[in-house]
Amino acid sequence: MSLHQSKIEPLPFVMAELNYLAPASGKPRTYTSDPPPGEPQSTALPEPHTLPVFNARPIASGFSLDREGFALVRYPQVVRDFYDEKELRNVYYPAAAAFIQATLKADRVFIFDHTVRKRIEGAPDIRGAGPRQPATRVHVDQTAASGADRVRLHLPEEADELLKGRVQIVNLWRPIKGPLRDAPLAMCDADTVAPGDLVASDLIYPNRRGEIYSVNYNPNHRWFYFPEMAADEALLLKCYDSETDGRARFCPHTAFIDPTTPPDAPARESIELRTLVFYKR
Q: Assess contact for 21 and 47: CB atoms under 8 A.
A: yes
Q: Tell me the CATH number for domain 46-279.
A: 2.60.120
pLDDT at residue number 150:
96
End-to-end CA distance of the chain, in Å?
A: 28
Q: How far is CA 45 from the centre of its chain?
A: 19
pLDDT at residue number 20:
98
pLDDT at residue number 177:
93
pLDDT at residue number 198:
98
CA-closest candidate to residue 252, choices 184, 171, 186: 186
For 137-184, how does the pLDDT look when each residue is reduced to its tens digit (9 = 90+)?
999 999 999 999 999 999 999 999 999 999 999 999 999 999 999 999
Question: Distance (Å, rounded) from C-alpha 281 to C-alpha 277?
Answer: 13
pTM: 0.94
pLDDT at residue number 18:
98
Q: Assess contact for 267 and 116: CB atoms under 8 A.
A: no
pLDDT at residue number 126:
60
Question: Distance (Å, rounded) from C-alpha 241 to C-alpha 230?
Answer: 28
pLDDT at residue number 10:
84
Q: Assess contact for 148 and 164: CB atoms under 8 A.
A: no
pLDDT at residue number 123:
65
pLDDT at residue number 124:
62
Per-residue model confidence as pLDDT tens for the chain (281 residues): 566 666 677 899 999 999 999 998 899 999 988 899 999 999 999 999 999 999 999 999 999 999 999 999 999 888 999 999 999 999 999 999 999 999 999 999 999 999 999 988 766 666 655 688 899 999 999 999 999 999 999 999 999 999 999 999 999 999 999 999 999 999 999 999 999 999 999 999 988 999 999 999 999 999 999 999 999 999 999 999 999 999 999 999 999 999 999 999 999 999 999 999 999 97
Rg (CA), the chain: 18
* DSSP output for the chain: --S-HHHHTTS-EEEEEEEEEPP-SS--EEESSPPPTT--SBS--EEEEEEEEEE-GGGGGG--TTTTSEEEEE-----S-TT-HHHIIIIIHHHHHHHHHHHHT-SEEEEEEEEEEE--TT----TTSSSBPP--S-EES--HHHHHHHHHHHSTTTHHHHTTSEEEEEEEEEESSSSB-SS-EEEE-GGG--GGGEEEEEEE-SS-EEEEEEE---TT--EEE-TTB-TTEEEEEEEEES--SSS-----EEE---TTS-TTPPPPEEEEEEEEEEE--
For 47-65, how does the pLDDT look when each residue is reduced to its tens digit (9 = 90+)?
999 999 999 999 999 999 9
Q: Is the peptide bond preceding residue 52 cis, with omega within 30 degrees of 0?
A: no
pLDDT at residue number 128:
59
CA-closest candidate to residue 26, choices 39, 13, 36: 39
**Domain boundaries, given as residue ranges, for the chain:** 46-279
Burial classification of residue 164, based on how many CB atoms lie within 10 Å of its CB (0-12 exposed, 13-18 middle, 19 or more buried) = exposed
Integer CA distances (angstroms), 155 to 109, 112, 199, 272, in order? 12, 10, 27, 20
